[in-house]
């Protein structure tokens, strides 16, 4: 089997920016050591011609990509820093003394407010998980030429949505309404942030599982459930 010609696609025409302007011709630079690469490995080059290394995106696109990347990294670092701070107060299972501090004009006391700190930790770790997931998909879509400007809403919202999902799923699990996880995970700081991160990272899967559960419990608008095991309650007239 012959290897593809390394000179294929030797010239890529890239706009200097989205507003127009002269196009630049970039010669293809190929490392001779890569010419011996087996054909089976060529499918791992992000849908590019062999030896093609130039960016597909204009400066304007890279500006938005950089903003999205910066937002996700800052959100991840800020929530992680808050988790470290909370961990200093909450992590000990049996605190020896009471501690008090004030934030945003509100006085908090530990261990009195330990449950609140645990819930907050679940939400923050869910945001961290969602940010990790969005960062992973950001670099995947950029590398595979699947990135587009309209996805910015998805990348801005996913971490926050993941944090909210983590908190309310934790409440559903702790109260015994659903049994997606063991409720004991949310009794300790490390278990809470671990479960929160897991729920946040896989929030799409968690929401899909809850949707399937809701369909079994309540049916759908077009096909309401009438089985005997459905929770009883008043029905609105058709």
Going from the C-alpha of 224 to that of each of 213, 217, 231, the distances in angstroms are 14, 10, 12
Q: Is the dihedral of CA 146, 148, 153, 155 positive or negative?
A: positive
Strand partners, 40: none
Cβ atoms of residues 101 and 108 within 8 Å:
yes
- For residue 102, give the 3-state DSSP assignment: strand
Residue-wise pLDDT for 185-212, tens only, equals: 888 888 889 999 999 999 989 988 888 8
CB 148 within 8 A of CB 60: no
The predicted pLDDT at position 49 comes to 76
* CA–CA dist 202, 129 (Å, integer): 8
pLDDT tens per residue across span 16-37: 444 444 333 343 333 444 444 4
pTM: 0.70
CB 167 within 8 A of CB 204: no
Tokens 């890239």 correspond to 14
β partners of residue 24: 14
168-184 pLDDT tens trace: 999 888 888 887 777 88
Task: Please provide residue 14's backbone torsions phi and psi, each rounded to the nearest 5 degrees.
Answer: -115, 135
Q: Which of 26-35, 63-72, 151-160 has the lowest mean pLDDT?
A: 26-35
CB burial of 75-106 (b: ≥16 within 10 Å; e: otherwise) equals: bbeebbebbeebeebbeeeeeeeeeeeeeeee
Question: Cβ–Cβ contacts within 10 Å for residue 152, how many?
Answer: 15
């Amino acid at each position: 089997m012959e290897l593809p010609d390394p000179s294929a696609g030797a010239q890529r025409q890239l706009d200097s920016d989205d507003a127009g302007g002269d196009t630049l011709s970039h010669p293809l630079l190929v490392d001779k050591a890569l010419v011996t690469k087996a054909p089976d490995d060529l499918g791992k080059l992000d849908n590019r011609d062999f030896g093609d290394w130039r960016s597909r995106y204009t400066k304007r696109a890279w500006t938005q990509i950089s903003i999205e990347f910066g937002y996700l990294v800052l959100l991840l670092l800020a929530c992680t820093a808050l988790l470290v701070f909370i961990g200093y107060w909450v992590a000990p299972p049996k605190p020896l003394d009471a501690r008090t501090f004030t934030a945003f004009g509100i006085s908090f006391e530990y261990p009195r407010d330990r449950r609140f700190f645990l819930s907050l930790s679940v939400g923050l770790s869910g945001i961290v998980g969602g940010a990790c997931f969005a960062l992973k998909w950001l670099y995947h879509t950029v590398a595979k030429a699947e990135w587009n400007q309209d996805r910015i809403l998805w990348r801005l919202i996913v971490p926050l949505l993941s944090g909210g999902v983590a908190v309310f799923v934790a409440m559903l699990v702790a109260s015994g309404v659903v049994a997606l996880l063991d409720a004991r995970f949310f009794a300790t700081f490390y278990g809470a942030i671990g479960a929160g991160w897991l729920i946040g990272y896989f929030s799409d899967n968690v929401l899909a599982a809850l949707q399937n559960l809701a369909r079994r419990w309540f049916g759908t608008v077009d096909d309401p459930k009438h089985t005997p095991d459905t929770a009883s309650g008043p029905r609105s007239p058709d």
